[in-house]
A and B are shown apart, each in its own frame.
Chain A
């Protein structure tokens, strides 16, 4: 039954996830907190449409709210927030720092559509089917988008001819 108890449980379970969704796209905790509250206000209004596995649906609401906000500002979103955890200390993992920097830079070169499907699967850790719920498309379309986005990300990570060869790169094995 979609009553206050159900909503309280949903809120407790997924509020941090929705805030982190905002953090990844806005880079500000205050704005992300406001976004999460708006998402759950919508969730209560449309509570009979929330699936049992509600998190992808909540992300979908957050995405639409952000899109509306961006449209209102008539500007593109900041694709990768500067905020967030600092990369590991340089002395300990300088290669990892370089890799994170390269990866974020490569992501920033992609279209918003490519970035979003990669973030949903890579950061929100959704399945393709769940990402399709967020993106309001079929799973097949989401699979194609992910496939193409991965290809373009891999191309963006390829070293530019003549450029310095990074000691570590992203591969199928992860960090090598």
Chain B
């Protein structure tokens, strides 16, 4: 991730341990084992409790795939430059129906959960679950107080035991016009040569992964209780992330969508933002959680749902006082297919925001 590399470049010079020689360890590995055994009484080699196997619903897209064992990069980024400048958009917060004094979200969410209709994929079958979503705000460059971020699109094909994720850069996003103007005047080194298709990964779908959920993509009807059990006990922000992760890696069936909405209805602090138009131009209904988050700043997490099927359309993190969109994930496609098409494609020319 380019943002990670930028952090290393920026901070590395101030690393107090960089280049510091570390003396050899004063005690051997065998001594440490003896110390460990002396304090626990456990016999060397005794196996720990087997870890539960979980269906992979990994916490996010790009780097987790590269970092976790078992993932294979099957298509390295092509080196050719893009045929045209990157589409660039300024991402502003969504326009809410209820801006000031929004009502509690619970009754609206319960009503929505009680009256869901099938999504398109509820009536389909196929060998692979096919998902497509876009994120921005993770691969971020900061310069002179201005911010730019690549918009990355993930397209996933998820089979019974393995999946494929094709990650494509589709444009650049800026939180304000000043940032767009700055980076137009100061294009970053290497931007012109960034590959359109970042990488194609293959990965197993059975693994222990942070944020995993035991929810199958099996199209048959399923009991939502196990999912509800996993979603209970979380605070509002944690639950919103869990819901986001769930949709990023699954076709969430109607019973499970209702369970998600019901779980959200039980969390204090969620408010109803009413009707919105999402970044892909689709009608939706939004709920938000507003409060001081890490670092004390006022943040706002927003989930937008399709108003009839209850599918998640987007998850956004907003700084409402500025106002500024810090991160978003926009869900674009969800369905079944028999074709695991994951070949790198040519330039993407669709609207980068959605």
**A residues at B contact (CB < 8 Å):** 2-4, 7-8, 11-12, 15-16, 19-21, 23-24, 27, 29, 33, 36-37, 40-42, 44-49, 51-53, 80-81, 83-85, 96, 99-100, 103-104, 107, 110-111, 113-114, 118-119, 121-123, 125, 127-130, 132-133, 137-141, 143-152, 154-155, 158, 170-175
Residue from B16, B23, B58 with most neighbouring chain A CB atoms (10 Å)? B16
For B242, give the chain A residue with the smallest CB separation.
A138
Least Cβ–Cβ distance between A134 and chain B, in angstroms: 11
* 8 Å CB contact of A172 from B6, B35, B137: B6
With A128-B138, A155-B145, A173-B143 known to touch, is A48 a contact of B47 (CB < 8 Å)? yes
Choose among B12, B15, B64, B242 the residue that contacts A129 (Cβ–Cβ < 8 A). B64
Interface bin, chain B: 35 or more
- In contact, A145 and B294 (Cβ under 8 angstroms): yes
* Given A46-B48, A53-B67: A20 touches B17 (CB 8 Å cut-off): yes
Which residue in A7, A24, A49, A175 is a CB contact (below 8 Å) of B16?
A24
Across-interface contacts of A146 in B (CB, < 8 A): 3-4, 7
**Majority SS at the chain A contact face:** helix
- A173 CA to B66 CA, complexed, in Å: 25
Contact between B8 and A129 (Cβ–Cβ < 8 Å)? no
Q: Is the CB of B8 within 8 A of A125?
A: yes
Complex CA distance for A19 and B189, rounded to whole angstroms: 35
Residue A49 contacts which of B10, B45, B48, B137 (CB distance < 8 angstroms)? B48
Q: Which residues of B contact A (CB under 8 A)?
A: 1, 3-4, 6-20, 22-23, 25-27, 29-30, 32-33, 35-37, 39-40, 42, 44-45, 47-49, 51, 58-60, 63-64, 66-69, 137-138, 140-145, 147, 188-189, 210-211, 238, 241-242, 244-245, 294-297, 317, 326-327
Asked if residues B40 and A19 are in contact (CB atoms below 8 Å), the reply is no
* CB atoms of B326 and A130 under 8 A apart: no
The distance in angstroms between the C-alpha atoms of A29 and B45, with both chains bound, is 32
- In the assembled complex, which residues on chain B have CB atoms less than 8 Å from the CB atom of A155? 145
Q: Given that A44-B33, A127-B1, A127-B67 are contacting pairs, would A144 and B44 also be in contact in the complex, using a CB cutoff of 8 Å?
A: no
Q: Are A172 and B11 in contact (CB under 8 A)?
A: no
What is the bound-complex CA distance between A67 and B69, given in angstroms? 28
For A37, list chain B residues within 8 Å (CB).
25-27, 32, 35
Contacts of B145 in A (CB 8 A): 154-155, 158
Are the C-beta atoms of A122 and B20 separated by less than 8 Å? no
Closest to B141 in A: A172
